[in-house]
Amino acid sequence: MSHLWILRKDRDQHCGRAAAMGLRVRYADAIDREIRTNLDGLIRYLRRLYFFPVRCNVYITNHESYRSERDGHVYYGVFYDNEGVYPKKKLYPEIYVAGQVSERFEIENIMFSLLHELSHYFQWIGDRETGRTDRSIEVEATRWANRIMEAYKAYSTIQTPFGELNIYVDGQLINYLPVRIAYDRPPCKDKPLAACYRIYGSIEAGQTVRAVIEPLADCRVSDCSGERYECCEFYRDKTQMTIGTVDYEDDLTQDSGPYVVSPIANGLEFRGGAKRTDVIIGLAWVNDYGEYDNRTWFAADPTLRR
């Protein structure tokens, strides 16, 4: 399949289209810090791999969605090529992305909307919209947004001090999107963490999911738990790391239940119950561990509100 997005290695073939090039992003003041941090990581990745021959201005707005005045549909992003808006003045293309997280719209959805609209930008660059139906244009943009998202997930695999965090579903290694968070509540408020993540996913009925560290460095491993909380901890010198998740064991019945989670030698294993269930995995580590230090234990617990 020929490339829709322009690779940086091919930039010489596309230079000179406009006086200004590149990808510019602005955030509304009310956008959450967590959203900014994770979108910034995606933007850096895109700038490193792809070339934007005409300046594209992206605005992350404080909205959950947009309703089109033309067709009444609800959208999460929109691309304007701005051609011919002002005949005597050049306007560069613009993208608007709804940047509010809601119950049905998570950070990954915001990222996907951005990639979808940038695919429209590259369709415009390559005149790929001429003579096509709206449906075919949308299908192509969705296909490329999915392709870039999967590549970014593979690129974003977490490298921990003890090895790489890999996730397997029924023995098959999968890509995942780590969401970096700033956990600044007690006991981490005055003594910050080195890193803290959340990984969101789901487990189908009967599936087995493993979140494991590979290859596991020489270290001490132990497991511990709390109310509705199961975790696995890793120690070496002054480095401590915790992988944690919600434990529904007390909620299980003989006939059905979300899943069963158990610590294993290098992480956590989930066994699906009778129905599909959402899963949240927390991961946190510090490089200045001291005696009775419980920062990662709290920060990796998805049951605690930030």
Question: Where residue 130 falls among pLDDT bands split at 50, 70, 90?
Answer: confident
pTM, to two decimals: 0.88
Higher-confidence position of 185 and 285 = 285
Whether 305 shows a pLDDT value over 90: the answer reads no
Per-residue pLDDT, 109: 92
Give burial (CB, 10 Å; 0-12/13-18/19+) of 128. Answer: middle
Total residue count of the chain as it appears in this document: 306
Strand 229-236 and strand 220-226: the pairing is antiparallel
User: Given pLDDT bands bounded at 50, 70 and 90, which one contains residue 103?
Assistant: low
Q: What is the residue-averaged pLDDT of the chain?
A: 90
pLDDT at 255: 47
More confident residue, 246 or 14: 246
133-148: average pLDDT:
96
Give residue 288's identity as a one-letter amino acid code: D
Position 187 pLDDT exceeds 70? yes
Residue 196 has pLDDT above 50, yes or no: yes
| Structural tokens at position 140 | 């192509």
* Model pLDDT, residue 101: 75
Write down all domains in the chain, each with its CATH number in brackets: 8-155 (3.40.390), 159-299 (no CATH)
Mean of pLDDT values over 23-43: 94
Instruction: Give tens-digit pLDDT for 34-84.
Output: 899 999 999 999 999 999 999 999 999 998 888 877 677 888 999 999 887
Q: 275-289 burial string, b = 16+ CB within 10 Å, else e?
A: eebebebbbbbbeeb
Predicted local confidence at residue 252, as pLDDT? 52
Task: Work out the pLDDT band at 185, boundaries 50, 70, 90.
Answer: confident
| Amino acid 27: pLDDT | 97
Q: What is the pLDDT, as a whole number, of residue 1?
A: 47
Judged against a pLDDT cut of 80, whether residue 139 lies above it is answered with yes
Q: What is the mean pLDDT of residues 280-303?
A: 94
Q: Label each residue of the chain as H, E or C.
A: CCCCCCEHHHHHHCCCCCCCCCEEEEECCCCCHHHHHHHHHHHHHHHHHECCCCCEEEEEECCCCEECCCCCCEECEEEECCCCCCCCCCCCCEEEEECCCECCECHHHHHHHHHHHHHHHHHHHCCCCCCCCHHHHHHHHHHHHHHHHHHHHHHCCCEECCEEEEEEECCEEECCCEEECCCCCCCCCCCCCCEEEEEEEEECCCCEEEEEEECCCCCEEEEEEECCEEEEEEEECCEEEEEEEECCHHHCCCCCCCEEEEEECCEEEEEECCCCEEEEEEEEEECCCCCCCCHHHHHCCCCCCC
pLDDT for 254 equals: 45
Structure tokens at 56: 């594209």
Q: Which residues contact 256 (CB under 8 A, 6 or more apart)?
A: 273, 274, 275
Strands 23-27 and 56-61: parallel
Greatest mean pLDDT among 40-44, 84-88, 215-219: 40-44
